[in-house]
Amino acid sequence: MLPSESPSADLRLTQVRHLDLPYTFTRYDSQDAWLARAAELRRHILVSAGLWPMPDKTPLNAQVFDRIERDGYTIEKVHFESVPGFFVTGNLYRPRDGRNKHPGILNPHGHHAQGRLAHDDTTSVPGRCITLARQGCVAFSWDMVGYNDSDQIPHNALQGPREELWGVSMLGLQLWNSIRAADFLCSLPDVDATRIGCTGESGGGTQTFMLTAVDDRVQVAVPVVMVSAHMQGGCLCENAPGLRIDTYNVEIAALAAPRPLLLVAATGDWTRDNPTVECPDIRGIYALFDAEDRLGCVQFDAGHNYNRDSREAMYAWMGRWLLGVDDERRLREQPFEVEDPANLRVWAGRERPQGALDAAGLTEYLVERNRRRIAERMPRDRKSLLAFRREMGVALRHSLMAQEPAPREIAAWRQGGRDTPRFAMERLLLGRRGVGDRIPAVMLTPHDARAKGPATLVVHDGGRAALIGERERPAGALVAGLLERGQRVLVIDCFLTGEASGERKRDVKYFTTYNRTDLAERVQDILTAIAYLRGREDVTRINLVGVGEAGLWCLLARALTHTSAGLGRVAVDAARFDSASDAEFAARLFCPHLRAAGDFVTAAALTAPAPLLIHNTGAKFATDGIKQVYTAGRSSERLTLSDRRLAAADVVAWTTAPGR
């Protein structure tokens, strides 16, 4: 427990991550280490996108129509439903070479004003699709949400506290649209579903590496002018809440390994360092697979673009890995003529089908989809409880992004202490080594305590002064009762409470994409305090008691402990919280994805079969779901519920009762 750094102010108050912050790649010294990280990161992306557990795929109801025939290729209009009532719109370019099967290339576009119809000196989405079709690939380009024919909802929709709580975001919708676009492309009879590529520029580059990260059907990827260590994407559609906590685009792009990946960069934008920074970092991952030949990087002296030079680099890469053509001269772009945009628009001369959702309707559908996924997985027996814990536990963990450290990771600074007639008091400052967090704490040990014995961590939403007094003199009824029962007691000031109060720097765009919420930090502080107690030689078992809203912090924290070994009882004050109210969560316990993760029901499922007391529930707390998970685990006798707030003496009696 000896600290290796000096105590200081809590860096979480002042250090804030943001989309323009330079990031450093973490080195992985073995393939196994990377594969473990990659699996965890894929799960994190899916949770952040509101796609964990993966939603059921509803019928696409795809329509392909208005065929245009040209020399060597055809163009058709397409619409399909990624979810019932939301239409993905685009164009399908096919070769006229008489072959039965072709590679399929997905073509998401960037934030060009003309979207998939963009055609100028800097980029040409129709031009690259025409060329790919001439070369023997089926190319599909589709609209970003809010662009061209995808005008059901604006591009800045799907944002707000309720949407964040339920995992609804523009990035999540567009990633789902990309997954469904892959479904559509693979369903075509003339597409070889084992040869799928994806390429897009700028925001389309983000879609390219995001889709490649989570969908193994993408065998070859070419993200253009986007993968950067110091600019992560400036649009709402690139910044889902939670997405880049403890990661960034370069690591996400590396999830393509060992599939072929080409970075196309420009000297005049944020990809200027690709040859010297981002590509070498990713190459370290490809080296673990002995697949460095499958990673490429080209850079052109230009501004932000997907110009002819960049496109020809992409054609050569796709040709090599999907067509088996190594002669770049055969894959150069030939002159092409782009259709009048009016002839490519999906709804020209055609009405959108009835039942199309607006932004409010789509939000309700996506919220209900996530609510339904939880209901369908609610456990009925031990087997289904284990499955629920596995799936929804991932969601809760990646929502809160908190975890219990190992005791060796804890630093504890002694800030002073004194004796009273009944107990010894030690003032501490706790933190995780190298992190910069600081948690004011007081450890109370009865004079008549055994050399080793149980300890109780007590957390109050008003800080430790509400438990032991501002001058830390007489202990309150709860703490005094625990001490009288021979318990060592640790009380802490969680993040932004008590002595840990302060002003947190938040003035960055998309704050929750890059930073943990206050709730998540408080849950982390409780986990850090548990780790501290685990590391004390005089502590044999750890109980956990939360007062006020801190009771709910404690329930969430207990669910995220590594193991139940050494942990005892959990007493939770539910603070009469209305767990059916999104507004209540937004105002009192805000954390993106928390509701989509099953919030307190999932926490109880992960806590069971540990003895759990929840009191002060009132009439609107989720007691039915909590009863169900404890019953499924055949541990209902270990669950105690009370709608009234119990007196301190009752909480002490329950917490210190014999048995576990």
CATH number of the domain that residue 430 is part of:
3.40.50.1820
Count structural domains, the chain: 2
CB contact at 8 A, 417 and 479: no
**Are 318 and 460 in a shared domain?**
no
Alpha-carbon dihedral angle through residues 286, 289, 293, 297, given to the nearest 10 degrees: -10
User: 291 pLDDT band (50/70/90 cuts)?
Assistant: very high
The reported pLDDT for the residue numbered 95 is: 98
Domain that holds residue 222: 37-249+303-370
The pLDDT of 244-264, averaged and rounded, is 98
Q: What is the mean pLDDT of the chain?
A: 96
Indicate whether 461 and 609 sit together in one domain.
Answer: yes
Q: Please tell me whether residues 339 and 481 are part of one structural domain.
A: no
Q: Round to whole Å and give the CA distance between 621 and 187.
A: 46
Q: Are residues 477 and 545 in the same domain?
A: yes
| Residue 60 and residue 139 share a domain | yes
* Residue 620 predicted with pLDDT over 90: yes
SS3 76: strand
Among 328, 353, 370, identify where a domain stops: 370
Residue 30 resides in a domain: no
Tell me how far apart the alpha carbons of residues 265 and 51 are, in angstroms, rounded to a whole number.
30
Residue identified by tokens 């995001």 is: 210
Confidence of residue 328 (pLDDT cuts 50, 70, 90): confident
Whole-number pLDDT of residue 562? 84
**Quick one: pLDDT at residue 269?**
98
Band (471; pLDDT cuts 50, 70, 90) = low
pLDDT digits (tens, 9 = 90+) for 383-442: 999 999 999 999 999 999 999 999 999 999 999 999 988 999 999 999 999 999 999 999
Do residues 406 and 324 both lie within one domain? no
**pLDDT single digits (tens) 188-242:** 999 999 999 999 999 999 999 999 999 999 999 999 999 999 999 999 999 999 9
Structural domain includes residue 387: no
415/564 same-domain check: yes
Q: Is residue 274 part of a domain?
A: no
How do residues 556-604 score in pLDDT, each as one tens digit? 999 999 887 889 999 999 999 999 999 999 999 999 999 999 999 999 9
**Is 238 inside a domain boundary?**
yes
Do 335 and 409 belong to one domain? no
Distances (CA, A) of 308 to 122, 140, 200, 269: 8, 19, 14, 17
Using CB atoms within 10 Å of the CB of residue 237, give its burial: 0 to 12 exposed, 13 to 18 middle, 19+ buried: buried
> Is 508 in contact with 16 (CB distance < 8 Å)?
yes
Does position 469 have pLDDT exceeding 80, yes or no?
no
pLDDT tens-digit map of 53-77:
999 999 999 999 999 999 999 999 9
474 and 329 inside one domain: no
Kindly tell me if the per-residue pLDDT of 472 is higher than 70: no
Would the pLDDT of 1 be above 50? no
447 is a domain residue: yes
What's the pLDDT band for 182 if we cut at 50, 70, 90? very high
**Are 335 and 428 in a shared domain?**
no
Tell me if 382 is assigned to some domain: no
Indicate if the pLDDT at residue 4 is higher than 70.
Answer: no
**Cβ pair 110, 202 in contact under 8 A:** yes
Query: Is 131 part of any domain?
Result: yes
CA angle 16, 252, 80 (to 5 degrees): 110
pLDDT of 5 > 80? The answer is: no
Residue 31: CB atoms within 10 Å: 16
Give the DSSP letter string of 608-644.
TTS-EEEE--TTSS-HHHHHHHHHHTT-GGGEEE-SS
Domain of residue 73, CATH code:
3.40.50
For 202-326, strand residue ranges (E) read: 218-224, 261-266, 295-300
Residue 548 maps to a domain: yes
Output the pLDDT for position 444: 96
Instruction: Measure the CA–CA gap between 285 and 603, rounded to whole angstroms.
Output: 35
Q: Which two tokens stand for residue 556?
A: 């969430």
pLDDT band at 2 (very low <50, low <70, confident <90, very high): very low
Same-domain pairing of 361 and 412: no
Same structural domain for residues 467 and 429?
yes
